[in-house]
Amino acid sequence: MIFISQPKSITIPITQLITLLLSIFLCCSVYSKELALVSSINANYEALSSFEVRKIFLGYPIKRENTQLIAIRNKSDETSYQIFLQKVIHLSARNYERRLMSKTFRTGTPTVLEISSLPKLKDKLHSNKFNISVMWLEDAQLDNKLKVIQILWKETK
């Protein structure tokens, strides 16, 4: 007579199972930063092409709803500003400043406004639906008076 033994069942306490699942989830999840083009919540225009974004931040006119959009440089965060220059404008800080200054001298038009404080930038964006700027998506999402027009850059890991 042959006896076949039943396999022993493995029991794992629920707390260990939850801990295991959470650790797998945290290891596999990827946190990435995103740079967004933002405006007032009242803005109702479509996303801009990469050419239009570059053009407006170089001080050239772009219109929506027959009104010129107003670019504001966000210099409140050095990392986001450097990414903006490299991945959106495709210029070094030095060359970007030169281009802005050169355009001002040639045309007499004022340069693109720069703001170095995030609260002041948000206030300026709230005040006019045609003001646009760039900031971290997470900063924009914390302010219910701002609207994300589009994502300009996403960190890849």
The reply to whether 72 falls in a domain is: yes
Range(s) of the domain holding residue 107? 34-154
We report the CATH number of the domain holding residue 139 as: 3.40.190.10
| 81 phi/psi in degrees, rounded to 5 | -65, -40
pTM over 0.85? The answer is no
- The pLDDT value recorded for residue 81 is 98
Does residue 98 lie within any of the structural domains?
yes
Q: Determine, yes or no, domain membership for 16.
A: no
Is the pLDDT reported for residue 79 higher than 70?
A: yes
Q: Report long-range pairs for 51-55 (Cβ below 8 Å, ≥24 apart).
A: 53/88, 53/152, 54/88, 54/89, 54/90
Query: What are 106's two structure tokens?
Result: 């040639």
Which residues on neighbouring strands pair with residue 36, listed in sequence order?
Answer: 135, 151
**What is the residue whose two structure tokens read 């890849």?**
156
Query: Is 67 within the bounds of a domain?
Result: yes
98/9: higher pLDDT: 98
Q: 26 falls in which pLDDT band (50, 70, 90)?
A: very low
The whole-number average pLDDT for the span 41-68 is 94
Give a yes or no: residue 88 inside a domain.
yes
Strand partners, 94: none
Q: Is residue 9 part of a domain?
A: no
Count structural domains, the chain.
Answer: 1
pLDDT tens by residue, 108-120: 999 999 999 999 9
> pLDDT-derived band of residue 27, with 50, 70 and 90 as boundaries?
very low
Residue 21 belongs to some domain of the structure: no
Q: What is the reported pLDDT for 157?
A: 74
Q: Is pLDDT of 28 > 60? A: no
Q: What is the average per-residue pLDDT within 122-136?
A: 98
Strands of the sheet containing 113-115, edge to edge, are 113-115, 70-74, 131-136, 34-40, 146-154
Q: How far apart are CA 120 and CA 2, in angstroms?
A: 83
| pLDDT category of residue 19 using cuts at 50, 70 and 90 | low
Q: Does residue 81 fall inside a structural domain? A: yes
